[in-house]
Structure formats: C-alpha cells, structure tokens
Amino acid sequence: MIAPDFEVAVIGAGPAGSTAALAMHNSGLRVALIDLATFPRDKTCGDAVAAYVPKVLATISPAFSAAFQALPKKQSVHTCRVVAPNGRSLDFKFHESGNVVKRIDLDNFLYELAIGQTHVIPLPGRRVNSIVYKPDQNFWELQTSQGRLTARLIIGCDGANSVVKKQLSDGRLHPQHHSAAVRAYFTGVEGVNPESFELHFIKELPLGYFWIFPESDGSFNVGLGALSKFISDKQVNLRDLLHHVVTNHITIAKRFANAHQVGDVKGFGLPLGSRKIPISGPGWMLCGDAGNLIDPLTGEGIGQAMASGRYAGWMAVDCFKHQNFSEVFMKRYDRQVYKKFWAAHRKSYLMQRYLVPRFGFFNKVVELAHWSPAFRKWLQRAVL
C-alpha cells in the first residue's frame, strides 16, 4: 500500500485549525496545515476572546498559554454592560477577564505558533475543493487549488462555509440555527469604558444585539447581528441597520456624533451550536464553525473553535496510537465536544428565543436585577 503524504490534514488554519495542529505537538505525526489564505489574514469578527482561551492553550502546553499572555495587542476586559431595550443597563463583573484582540493579530499569532512546531507543515494559499476517501489505499485524497494531497485523517476547520462539513456531514443552513452579523471599526466613540464589553438589546433587532468592544489601539469594534430567520423574514439589511443605529438611535447615536468609521462594514455568517450535527465519522472530524459550535446568544465562537480543535488534535493522536479510525471510536470526540458545550448552547438558544425578543419582560428582568442582589448574582451566572 502507498503511504499518504501526511498522517493528518488540517483544513483551515483559523483558531480551530491552528489549535488542532498545536494539540498534536510531540506526537510524531506529520500534520499539514492547509488554508486558502496566506497569513496574516483578517476574519470578520467582534474580536472578543473568552477568558478561558489561555486555559485551552495551557492544557496543550504552558508555554503556548504564556505566549498568548505576552501577546502585546490585546485589550483586557473586566466587565460586560448589558443594556435593556428601555436603555436601563446592568454591569456584570467577570470572575476572569476576557480580551479583545483584532483577528488579524490573534489568528496570525496562533498560526505562527502552530507552524513553529516541527511536526506542522504549512500549506497556505491552497483551497481545498473536494475530499474523497480511497478505501483501497486507506487514506483521503484532497483536490486542492495547487494539486492533490493525501492524508490518513482529516480535521475540517474550514469555517462557516466548510467544504468538509458539506461533503461529510450536514451542511444545510437552518435559518433558526444560523445568524448573520456585520462589524466596522470606529474611532472617537464617546462614553466607553475601555475595559468593558457593551451589549445593547435594541428594539430594531429583536433576535440579536448591537455591540461596542474596545480595542487595544483605542479604536472600537462596533457591530450587530441577528438570527438569519429574522433577517430573511423581515428583509433586514444589516449594513443599513448598523448605519441607522449609529446615526439615529436615541441613546447610541449621541455617542457616535464625533466618531469616524475606519474601513468598510464587513459581514459573515455564524452557524449556531443549537442544532447538533455529526462532527466526526471514520477518519474525519469537524471543529469550530465547521462543526456549528457558535454560542446562539452571544455569537462567541473563538473559544469553542480552539477547545474543539484541541479535542480533535488529541483524538487524532489517540487514533494513531490505537490504529483505530472507526466511526464508533471517533464518536468519543462528538461526546467530548457536546459535553463541554451543548448545555450552555441550549440555554443560550432558549434565552435568545424567549427572553431577548420579549422587550417588556427583558426590561423587567433588568429592573429586578437592580433591585435584588441575589437575582442579579443568579442572572450573571445564567448569562455569562
């Protein structure tokens, strides 16, 4: 039998792919890290990085976590301000601080860390077009924009429009379990606490929210997103809505009176983690957005991408150790990922569907939290 070019092909080198590659360090496996882009590359995002991200890296290697802590261009964030539809706000203090890091910097940091490991072979500027399993050879054949590659195992980390998901799992877009969002960078926004996230639940956006996140260079990541079903039912143009909010909203617009937009408004899809799909099968796994792992309420997916990438990397090492690539063996990966995220994603889904659009109820919940410290504490645990 012919040996494949690589033991593992990681398709997509965003947070999921780079972390999956990192998790296979010291394994002796030859890992191809393939991306259609060349790095540094940007990714449309709110740039908010969950507090547990350094821990994900620390469980792979304390040195990787230390490298993240030393990353210069990150803004530490200690609180989250939630603004109800009536304008009344609540500040939640995090137990552990999160960060805001521009994706061009975060993703390039993770990519450089991954390709700095001797087991990782970077293959940038290469689009994977199709994947076929060759049973006679016992490996996968990948057709790419720069020719053919073969690997024993594949890890699909190719984002929201994943080719791997479409070919091997369930790539259908369910508008009830999918969001869309847009963001732009601004300078000169007034009244911002530079160490706080701001989430505004506004009447114009009953199944989503508007955000202001502070960057380390003094600019702000400003955006909004909503469930795709709402966007298509109501024919909402998110770019127009963002412009409308920063120029006309009763409380928000005043704070943008002297602000300047830097660069274009950019948008992208968010496959939400409120619908389970198969994220593994014989000889393959899906991580991050390719595995539909975004929090349905907050839209966070970087932490999920990195945590699932880490599990996939570890699972790959186990597959080679036991020489077992069977569907049954690989389902351990699905169980691990869903054990970590499913309950939280269900709770977020229910809050997004039944709390956020009920403005009167939402306002009362915020009012009650002002009045009762015990309820406020409970709410913080439930939301953050």
Nearest CA-CA partner of 124 in 232, 188, 24, 40: 40
- Dig out the tokens for 287 from the structure: 């991580």
Shortest gap between Cβ of 136 and ligand FAD (angstroms)?
25
167/277 Cα distance (integer angstroms): 13
Which of 9, 10, 15, 230 is in the footprint of ligand FAD by CB under 6 A? 15
Residues 6 or more apart from 119 whose CB is under 8 A from it? 21, 24, 25, 26, 27, 28, 29, 30, 31
292: left (phi over 0), alpha (psi -120 to 50) or beta: left
Look at the chain and count its residues.
384
334 binding ligand FAD? (CB under 6 A): no
Shortest gap between Cβ of 321 and ligand FAD (angstroms)?
25
Which of 223, 273, 296, 313 is in the footprint of ligand FAD by CB under 6 A? 223
36 binding ligand FAD? (CB under 6 A): yes
Identify which of residues 130 and 372 has a Cβ nearer to ligand FAD in the complex: 130
156/287 Cα distance (integer angstroms): 6
Closest CB to ligand FAD: residue number: 301
384/381 Cα distance (integer angstroms): 6
156 binding ligand FAD? (CB under 6 A): no
105 binding ligand FAD? (CB under 6 A): no
Report the site for ligand FAD in 348-367 (rule: CB under 6 A): none
Please answer whether residues 49 and 303 qualify as being in contact, where contact means their C-beta atoms are separated by less than 8 angstroms.
Answer: yes
Shortest gap between Cβ of 128 and ligand FAD (angstroms)?
4
Which of 4, 14, 156, 273 is in the footprint of ligand FAD by CB under 6 A? 14
Identify which of residues 7 and 289 has a Cβ nearer to ligand FAD in the complex: 289
Which of 34, 279, 319, 356 is in the footprint of ligand FAD by CB under 6 A? 34
Q: What is the tally of helices (H) and strands (E) in the chain?
A: 12, 16
215 binding ligand FAD? (CB under 6 A): no
Shortest gap between Cβ of 130 and ligand FAD (angstroms)?
9
70/93 Cα distance (integer angstroms): 23
Which of 22, 60, 157, 226 is in the footprint of ligand FAD by CB under 6 A? 157
Identify which of residues 206 and 288 has a Cβ nearer to ligand FAD in the complex: 288
For 341-359, give one letter per residue: b (16+ CB within 10 A) or e. beeebeebbebbbeebbee
Show the DSSP H helices in 36-188 as ranges. 53-60, 62-69, 103-115, 163-168
Binding mask 270-309 for ligand FAD (x = CB under 6 A): x-----------------xxx---x----xxxxx-x----
Q: From 156-164, 256-264, 331-339, 367-375, give the range in contact with ligand FAD by CB under 6 A.
A: 156-164
Identify which of residues 128 and 319 has a Cβ nearer to ligand FAD in the complex: 128
Residues forming the site for ligand FAD (CB under 6 A): 11-17, 34-37, 43-48, 127-128, 157-159, 163, 181, 183, 223, 225, 268, 270, 288-290, 294, 299-303, 305
